[in-house]
Structure 1
């Protein structure tokens, strides 16, 4: 039995986020999968759709499609970044956005205020959903799914060194690592137990990213005893990061691999009671 909750923008705009609630303490989120930008923001942006989408996390919604509870955000991080602290959630200068000039003209105060209100509304709803799951199950695991570029110098450039760029990077820096050791280690070992296109999967912890985003911080601050949030960064080996063309075969493999962690995480949580 599932229940879906959508946040609808005023004026009939598409849903800004969608939450599907399932009967499990395991949650998958894709808060950077969105590409939607409101008309007022779009008119002020100098950034092309191609450049913008290169820094978004396309197809991460697909990776969590088998999770019992799913939280998917459809609004672009270039309008408001839900994985940044509130005061940094609207990119105002290139140093906040990989050197990219986002704005042709700086957004007016009312546009920024609306974006920050969206940030507030999302975290209020997230808190409500997680508190309900905590009440029902005692503990929960939130798998915070993202992706990252590894050919930043151009479409035919050499990829980043594998030493610095695992296929799947697990970020854990904001959690009580000792408290959640059984959860994190079972999660990583399950991922490592699979192959991808016939090759072993390189899964490492806190290499290219350390899990310092706002969503994991929020979970560990507000649910310190009961909530474990694992930041997961998939290297964009599942697509051409410059053209945006997906490799659906690899995407579906990664979806199944990630889904295989759900029963494992459920079992570990039951054993912690």
Structure 2
């Protein structure tokens, strides 16, 4: 299997990416890995490809971030030590040899080359939006421990740290308002999602790279979904919840496209 794939219809203006959804590790690295598979799975972003599946254009990584992290700068995309991986011991007899690192970076370079070619086509047609879909753990103290405080852990964190908000803030605002207004079965008392901006995460390399390469057209919203759609300790998915989140995310696309239209109209006047 390739380290990543592009799916769907890329003729529109909205893309969903799931670049931490992968779990695959190539055999030579798997033989050197001491990180337990269940711990690795807990630190990946499983099922985020399904959350973005209702968006027409999609990019999905199959390679684990523990082989190569597509959301870090190239020189830090391969975790070499616990300091680069939340204190986790990953490798037997570290550090990795340079040849192994370079082999992992082949996937990194190919991903950015190929998504760049697709973004070139989108940018040629005007502003475009990327839903960069990730997830985060909220029960780090254990399976039976209380979840992290709601004040600092929104259901969806929208990262816009590298976004030019003076230019594209209306698009971000339209998305946040639209997503927060979606009805989600079983969602608290109101049925509405807790969507907040830059509370826990501000976005990372894919967002920065896109904003640097497409400053006049690229709009990345780095979406961190709290893992209420799965049991982060057993890995079991709540597929009804995933389907509801996927439908809610897809339902924001018309509002985002309307904001893009308004942005284009203003730029022509």
The TM-score with structure 2 as length reference comes to 0.94
Q: 1:108 aligns with which of 82, 85, 97?
A: 97
Off by >6 Å, runs of 4+ in structure 1: none
Residue 115 of structure 1: how far off its partner (Å): 0.9
Contiguous gaps of at least 5 residues in structure 1: 1-13
Q: CA-atom RMSD, angstroms?
A: 1.0
* SS of match in other structure, 1:166: coil
Aligned pair partner of 2:197 in 201, 205, 212: 205
- Residue 112 of structure 2 corresponds to residue 123 of structure 1: yes
Higher helix share: 2
Matched, 1:215 2:202: no
Q: 2:187 touches 2:193 (CA, 8 Å); kept in 1? A: no
Alignment of 1:188-267 (within 5 A): 188-196=176-184, 197-199=186-188, 200-211=192-203, 213-267=204-258
Alpha-carbon distance between aligned partners in 2 of 1:217 and 1:240, rounded to the nearest angstrom: 31
Q: What secondary structure, in the 3-state scheme, does the structure 1 residue paired with 2:135 have?
A: strand
Runs of at least 5 residues in structure 2 that lack an aligned partner in the other structure: 265-269
Q: Counterpart of 1:185?
A: 173
| Alpha-carbon shift at residue 41 of structure 1 (Å) | 0.5
The alpha carbon displacement at 1:184 in A equals: 0.3
**In 1, are the aligned partners of 2:159 and 2:223 still within 8 Å (CA)?**
yes
Structure 1 residue 117: deviation in Å?
2.1
From the two aligned structures, give the one with the greater strand fraction: 1
Q: Find 1:175's aligned residue among 140, 150, 163.
A: 163
Q: Is the 8 A contact 1:45 1:105 kept in 2?
A: no
- Bigger mean CA deviation after superposition, 32-41 or 95-104: 95-104
One of 48, 51, 56 as aligned partner of 1:63: 51
Distance 2:106 2:62 in 1: 16
- 1:19 is matched with which residue? 6
Question: Deviation of residue 21 (structure 1)?
Answer: 4.4
**Alignment pair present for 1:32 and 2:20:** yes
Query: For 2:150, what is the secondary structure of its paired residue?
Result: coil
- The 8 Å contact of residues 175 and 220 in structure 1, kept in 2 or not, is answered as yes
**Equivalent pair of 1:21/1:70 in contact (CA under 8 Å):** yes
Are positions 1:99 and 2:80 aligned together?
Answer: no
2:65 aligned with 1:73, yes or no? no
Q: How far apart are 1:263 and its partner, in Å?
A: 1.5
- Contact residue 151 and residue 160 of structure 1 kept, 8 A: yes
- What SS is found at the alignment partner of 2:59? strand
Which range moves more in the overlay, 259-268 or 232-241?
A: 259-268
